[in-house]
């Protein structure tokens, strides 16, 4: 459907461009009643499709709610499937920007997709709102055209560690997460805050992303107070199942991907008792969240999770930014500045604003999985307010330390 439309637009745009080039005339100032073009980079095929499809559902839900109109302008929505790989993401980003002439892009999903296009985005000066959590995108190597309304990898893990140390009174923990940057950054953040609160990380385990059987790692989990896992995609499901099957009973804490509300429909009894820290929680009692959840239930018959909510919030930020510019989107730098200055009081994840690096400051919810009837729910236990990517650390000092990695912070012997 969208292919047909965009192809026609493409032909028209090419013809118009050729005509303009021929007469060397400046482009006529098209009035602001031309549609605002919003591009989505997501993954609809392959192993990452689960999160990618939820992303599209989230943004479409918001667009429908607004009747495809932002600040009085019609919104033309163009969805592109990156296939979940960097090369595909680059191609699709180029198509969106150069062929479809989008004004703003939401997505992509994964950090390695984002890293493939970050330079290109900055060069094209196209505002990009992504869920990808790569810390340095808003820390040591910020991109002025990048805005993140979700969270950095460690943004939810700092409060999780705080909660694990202070409220759960855990002292000695083992971390386990996928052997890639998102895992390192999550576990690094957890370790730093956990150790600052008197805890100790005994061991850090890093299974490869593709690990059908976690048994060799589970065999190494023993003699501790708790386990922190940072799995994403379908891995949390398999990990918890095998964890329970191996007879392990230590409490498990995790971040937004490991305890996502959207995973609850796949979980079994083994998930009960799982603590997670997440920038979104299904049971948040705000007007916009009720609206959002009701629309998701109605249109897709599912409870939304973090990916859906992330894109819905991205949509709200784009709309609010466009309102600030009075509906103008020609000047991308001004549009970007307007979006960055957006502060919303009611979103499905509570109030949000952005720091000067383009990363969100907002709520982080600590939840626990419980069984309610024949389904599982995340019950919110505690809300940390105004959590920034630097947690309680001084920004300057935080940025002086290296980005969280496999070996940073180092294990204390």
Strands of the sheet with 36-42, listed across from one edge:
69-70, 73-81, 36-42, 104-106, 128-129, 146-147
Question: Please, what is the minimum distance in Å from the beta carbon of residue 212 to other proteins?
Answer: 5
245 is a site residue for other proteins (CB under 8 A): yes
Question: Please, what is the minimum distance in Å from the beta carbon of residue 52 to other proteins?
Answer: 8
Alpha-carbon Rg for the chain in angstroms: 22
In the set 8, 19, 47, 411, which binds other proteins (CB under 8 A)? 47
372 is a site residue for other proteins (CB under 8 A): no
45 is a site residue for other proteins (CB under 8 A): yes
3-class state of residue 92 by DSSP:
helix
Of 3, 96, 92, 113, whose CA–CA distance to 48 is shortest?
113
Question: Please, what is the minimum distance in Å from the beta carbon of residue 157 to other proteins?
Answer: 21
Cβ closest to other proteins, residue 29 vs residue 210: 210
Q: Residue-wise over 135-159: b if at least 16 C-beta within 10 A, else e?
A: bbbbbeebbebbbbbbbbbbbbbbb
CA distance 156 to 168: 16
Question: Please, what is the minimum distance in Å from the beta carbon of residue 293 to other proteins?
Answer: 17
405 is a site residue for other proteins (CB under 8 A): no
Query: H-helix or E-strand containing 333?
Result: helix 332-340
Strand 226-229 with 275-278, pairing: unpaired
Contact between residue 203 and residue 175 where contact means Cβ atoms under 8 Å apart: yes
297 is a site residue for other proteins (CB under 8 A): no
Cβ closest to other proteins, residue 109 vs residue 253: 109
Cβ closest to other proteins, residue 208 vs residue 410: 208
Compose the 171-210 pattern: x for residues touching other proteins by CB under 8 A, - for all others: --------x-------------------------xxxx-x
Cα 147–chain centre separation = 11
In the set 16, 69, 141, 216, which binds other proteins (CB under 8 A)? 216
> Rule CB under 8 A: which residues touch other proteins?
45-47, 49-54, 179, 205-208, 210-213, 215-217, 219-220, 233-234, 237-238, 241-242, 245-247, 262-263, 265-268
């Amino acid at each position: 459907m969208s292919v047909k439309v965009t192809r026609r637009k493409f032909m028209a745009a090419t013809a118009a461009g050729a005509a303009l080039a021929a007469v060397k005339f400046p482009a006529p100032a098209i009035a602001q009643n031309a549609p605002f073009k919003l591009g989505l980079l997501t993954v609809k095929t392959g192993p990452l499709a689960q999160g990618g499809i939820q992303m599209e559902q989230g943004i479409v839900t918001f667009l429908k709610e607004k009747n495809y109109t932002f600040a009085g302008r019609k919104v033309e929505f163009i969805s592109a499937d990156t296939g979940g790989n960097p090369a595909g993401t680059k191609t699709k980003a180029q198509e969106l920007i150069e062929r479809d002439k989008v004004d703003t892009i939401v997505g992509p999903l994964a950090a390695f997709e984002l890293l493939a296009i970050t330079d290109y985005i900055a060069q094209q000066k196209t505002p990009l709102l992504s869920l990808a959590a790569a810390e340095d995108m808003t820390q040591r190597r910020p991109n002025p055209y990048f805005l993140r309304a979700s969270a950095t990898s460690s943004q939810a893990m700092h409060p999780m560690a705080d909660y694990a140390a202070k409220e759960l009174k855990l002292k000695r923990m083992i971390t386990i997460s996928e052997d890639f940057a998102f895992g390192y950054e999550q576990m690094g953040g957890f370790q730093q805050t956990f150790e600052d609160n008197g805890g100790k990380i005994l061991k850090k385990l890093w299974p490869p992303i593709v690990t059908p059987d976690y048994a060799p790692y589970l065999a190494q989990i023993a003699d501790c107070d708790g386990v922190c896992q940072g799995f994403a995609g379908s891995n949390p499901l398999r990990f918890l199942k095998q964890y329970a099957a191996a007879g392990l009973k230590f409490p498990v804490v995790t971040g937004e991907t490991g305890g996502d509300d959207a995973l609850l429909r796949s979980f079994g009894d083994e998930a009960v008792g799982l603590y997670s820290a997440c920038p979104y929680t299904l049971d948040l009692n705000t007007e916009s969240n009720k609206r959002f959840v009701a629309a998701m239930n109605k249109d897709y018959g599912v409870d939304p999770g973090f990916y859906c909510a992330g894109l819905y919030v991205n949509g709200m930020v784009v709309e609010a930014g466009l309102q600030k510019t009075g509906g103008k989107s020609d000047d991308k730098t001004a549009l970007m500045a307007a979006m960055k200055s957006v502060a919303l009081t009611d979103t499905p994840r509570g109030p949000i604003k952005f720091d000067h690096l383009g990363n969100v400051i907002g709520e982080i919810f600590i939840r626990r999985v419980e069984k309610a009837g024949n389904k599982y729910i995340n019950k919110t236990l505690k809300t940390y307010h105004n959590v920034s990517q630097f947690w309680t650390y001084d920004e300057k000092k935080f940025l002086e330390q290296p980005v969280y990695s496999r070996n940073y912070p180092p294990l204390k012997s």
